[in-house]
Amino acid sequence: MNGCILILVALGLSIVFGLMGIINFAHGVFYMLGAYAGWLTVQLTGSFWLALLTAPAAVGLIGILVERGVLRRIYGTRNASFAGVLVTYGLAIMIPDLVRMTFGRPGKPFAAPAILSGSLFQLGATDVHAYRVFILLVTATLLPLLWFLLNKTNLGLVIRAGTSDNLMVQLLGINVARTWTITYALGAALAGLAGVITAPLVAVAPEMGGLVLIECFIVTVVGGMGSFLGVVAGGLLIGETLALTGMLYDVFADVVIYLAMALVLLVRPRGLFGQEGMSEE
Amino acid sequence: MKGLLLAALVLGTAPLYADYTPFYLGLLTEVLVFGLFALAYDVLLGHAGVLSLGHSAFVGVGAYTTGLLLARRLAPLEPSLLAGAVGGLVTSVVLGALVLRKRGVYLAMLTLALSQVFYYVVLMWTPVTGGTDGLGNLPILTLSEPLGWRLSKRPITRYYVVVTIIFVAVLAIRHLLRSPLGRVMRAVKANETRAAACGYNTRRVRLAAFAISGFFSGLAGALLTVVLEFVPIENIHWGMSGTVLIMALFGGTGTLLGPFVGAGVFIWMRDFLSKYLEYWEVFVGGAFVLIVLFFPAGLMGWIHSRFPRTQKVLE
C-alpha cells in the first residue's frame, strides 16, 4: 500500500474518530465505493479527471446518508461508541455484497489516462512511474489544504473543539449535529478520493476495502489517534516499512507493521504524536 | 437449574426425534460449538464490558494447537483438546495484557490488529500449518482407553462427546459468572470508577475476564477441529471475530442461552439462506444493523424482558 494513499484514508478515519469517538468500520467500504464511482464515471464519460471529482462527491453523499440515516440514531444512547462500531461493521458486511449484486463479483479493470502511464525518468536503477508522482502531487496539494481547513477555519475550530470536549461545544450554542454530518462526509470523501486514485494500481473489487481498513488502524495507532501530524508520519512510516520489507523479504511485510504497532503500544501507548489523555476511552 | 436439566434433556435426545441425518446432526454439533465460542466471547462483552475484535486469535490458536498435536505429533485426543484450550488462554492473557492499556473502542481496534499477527504467522509458516490450504490429514479420532470410542465418521458418537464437553464447559462458565469474580466483572462494566474506588484492580479483573474468555474460546476452537477434522485458515482470520460478535449480539449479550440461539440463527442464515439467495451477507449485515439499532438486547434479551419468567427458568 502506497504511503500517500494510506495517509489520505487514515486521515478520514482519524478525523471521524477524533470528533465522534466512532471507529468507522465502513471506512474501507467508502474507499471501495470511491473506486467504483470512479470506474463508473470513466465508463460513462471517459474522463479520469472528472472521476477525481465525482468519486469523492458521490462517496461524501453516501457518507451523509449513512450519518443521517443510521449513526444519528445511536448518538446519546448508552455505549454509543460501541454501537457505532457495530452498525458500521454491519454496513461493512452489507455494502460489498450490494456492490457484488450491482456490478458483479469479478473486479473491474481501471486504466490510468495515457498521460500518467509509463515511466517519467530513471532514478538509479528504478523507473519513476508518472502515476506515482501524480499520487505524490495530489497528496502534497491536499494535505496543506486539509491542514488549513482543520486549523485555520471556523469549521476546523469547531471540529477540534468537539474532539476535546463535545458537550462544552454544544453548550456554547454551536450546532454540533451539522458539524458531525460534515465531518463524517469529509472523512468518507477522503476515503472515496483515495479509492479512485488507487484504482489504476490495483483491481477495482468489492473486497478492496478490507485490508486497507486494518492498515489505517495501524497508522492511526502508531501516529496517535486524532492527530494530523501523527497520521502523516504514521502513514509514511507504515507505507515505507511495507514497501521496504516487501522488497527485501516479501512474506514478512505484513507482520512487520503489526509488530511495529505492538512496539509503539508498549513504549508509547498514545502513539508518536498523540496527546496525553486523548482517546483513552 | 431447571433450564439446565431441560437443556440436557433436549440435547441428549435430539438425535432421536430430530430429522436424523448425519448432515443435520453435524450442523447441530457445529451450532453448539459456535454457541460455546459465542458464550466465551460474551464473558468479555456482556459481563466485563470489553468489546473484543480479536477472538479469531483465541479460537484459531485453539484450533491449530489441537490440530497440530493430532496431525503432526499423533497425540491422544483428550490432552490435545486441553492443550487447545490452554493455547487460547495463553494467547488471551498475552493479548489482553497488551490491549488493556487502552479502553473502549480503541481497545477493540487494537485487539483486531494484534489478532491478525497470528493469522500471518499461520500464513507464513506453511510447512507446519499448511498455510492457505489449511491443516488437514488428521488421523482417525478416537477417545483414549478405557472408552476407546471412535469419533471419525460416527456423527452420533461425536455429537454426544462434543455435547458432553460443551455442557460441562457451560456449567463452568455459569459457575464463574455467578462467583464473586463474575459480580466484580459486571460491577466494572457498570461503573469502572466506582469499582476502582471500592478497591478492585479493574485492569486485573478485565484480564481475568480475558483469560476465562480465551480459555473457552480455545476449547471451542479445539472442538471445531474435532468436528470438522480439518483446520481451515479462516478459523484464525479476523472474519471469525466478526462472526462471533454477530452471533453474541443476535442472541443477546449477558444471557446464557442467547449465544447458542445467535449461533443457530447465524448458521441457519449461512447454510439455508445462501441456498436461495446468493448475496446472503446483505441480509446478515442488514439484520445486524437493525438489531443494534432497535433490539440492542438481542433475541433472548428481548424474550427475557417480555416474559420475565423465562429468565428464571432458562438462565
pLDDT in tens, A246-271: 777 766 777 888 888 878 877 787 78
> How confident is the prediction for chain A on average, in pLDDT?
84
pLDDT band (50, 70, 90) for residue A281 = very low
Planar angle of CA B289, B56, A84, nearest 5 degrees: 25
CA distance B280 to B298: 20
Weakest mean pLDDT among A272-276, B48-52, B176-180, B197-201: A272-276
Q: Which of A108, A110, A113, A109 is nearest to A130 (CA)?
A: A113
Cell numbers placing B315: 438462565
> Among the ranges A116-130, B97-111, B142-156, which has the highest mean pLDDT value?
B97-111
Among chain A residues, CA nearest to B122: A255
- As a residue count, chain A comes to 281
Which domains does chain B carry? 2-314 (1.10.3470)
- Residue B238: phi and psi, rounded to 5, are -70, -15
pLDDT at A278 over 60: no
Contact A98, B282 (CB under 8 A): yes
Q: What is the pLDDT of residue B280?
A: 82
In terms of pLDDT, which residue wins out, B70 or A243?
B70
Weakest mean pLDDT among A75-89, B60-74, B242-256: A75-89
pLDDT band (50, 70, 90) for residue B136 = confident
Q: What is the pLDDT of residue B68?
A: 92
Question: Which residues in chain A are contacts of B57 at CB distance < 8 A?
Answer: none
Look at phi and psi of residue A118 and say left if phi exceeds 0, alpha if psi is from -120 to 50, else beta: left
Q: What is the pLDDT of residue A178?
A: 86
Weakest mean pLDDT among A144-153, B61-70, B89-98: A144-153
pLDDT band (50, 70, 90) for residue B223 = very high
> How confident is the prediction for chain B on average, in pLDDT?
86
Q: What is the pLDDT of residue A277?
A: 52
- As a residue count, chain B comes to 315
Per-residue three-class SS string for A28-47: HHHHHHHHHHHHHHHHHHCC
Helices B180-190 and B202-228, packing angle to 10 deg: 110
Gyration radius of chain B over CA positions: 19
Q: Which of B205, B260, B233, B225 is nearest to B56 (CA)?
A: B233
Report which DSSP code applies to A199: T
Contact A261 B114 (CB under 8 A): yes
Measure A127 CA to nearest chain B CA, in Å: 30
Q: CB under 8 Å to A177, separation ≥6 — which residues?
A: A72
- Give the amino acid at A183: T
Counting residues of chain A whose pLDDT is more than 70, the rounded percentage is 92
Q: Per residue in B227-237, pLDDT tens?
A: 988 888 888 98
Weakest mean pLDDT among A6-15, A224-233, B160-169: A224-233
pLDDT band (50, 70, 90) for residue A125 = low
Q: What is the pLDDT of residue A276?
A: 59
What number is the average pLDDT over the span B250-277?
A: 86
Question: Which residues in chain A are contacts of B106 at CB distance < 8 A?
Answer: 23, 225, 279-281
Counting residues of chain B whose pLDDT is more than 90, the rounded percentage is 37
What number is the average pLDDT over the span A221-230?
A: 83
Cell numbers placing A41: 464515471
Contact B29, B11 (CB under 8 A): no
Contact B281 A96 (CB under 8 A): yes
Q: CB under 8 Å to A123, separation ≥6 — which residues?
A: none
β partners of residue B132? none
Contact B113 A100 (CB under 8 A): no
Q: Which of B80, B24, B85, B89 is nearest to B229 (CA)?
A: B80
B48 at the A interface (CB within 8 A)? no
In terms of pLDDT, which residue wins out, A205 or A116?
A205
B175 at the A interface (CB within 8 A)? no
Strand residue runs (E) in chain A:
119-123, 126-129
Nearest to A97 among B98, B103, B279 (CB): B279
CA distance B142 to B138: 11
Q: Per residue in B264-315, pLDDT tens?
A: 999 988 888 777 777 888 888 888 898 888 888 888 888 888 887 777 766 6
Containing B306, the helix (H) or strand (E) segment is helix B298-306
Q: What is the pLDDT of residue B35?
A: 95
Measure B9 CA to nearest chain A CA, in Å: 36
ipTM value of the model? 0.84
Q: Which of B214, B212, B200, B215 is nearest to B176 (CA)?
A: B212
pLDDT band (50, 70, 90) for residue B58 = very high
Contact B279 A85 (CB under 8 A): no
CA distance B123 to B167: 33
Q: What is the pLDDT of residue B17?
A: 66
What number is the average pLDDT over the span A138-156?
A: 88
**Bond prior to A109 in cis (omega within 30° of 0):** no
- Residue A131: phi and psi, rounded to 5, are -65, -35
- Give the amino acid at A29: V
Q: Whole-model pTM above 0.80?
A: yes
In terms of pLDDT, which residue wins out, B222 or A154?
B222
Question: CB A109: neighbour CB atoms within 10 A?
Answer: 10
Q: Per residue in B71-109, pLDDT tens?
A: 888 778 888 999 999 999 999 999 999 888 888 777 888
Dihedral of the CA atoms A65, A66, A70, A75 (nearest 10)? Answer: -100
**Bond prior to B146 in cis (omega within 30° of 0):** yes
B296 at the A interface (CB within 8 A)? yes
Measure B237 CA to nearest chain A CA, in Å: 12
pLDDT at B44 over 80: yes
Q: What is the pLDDT of residue A280?
A: 46
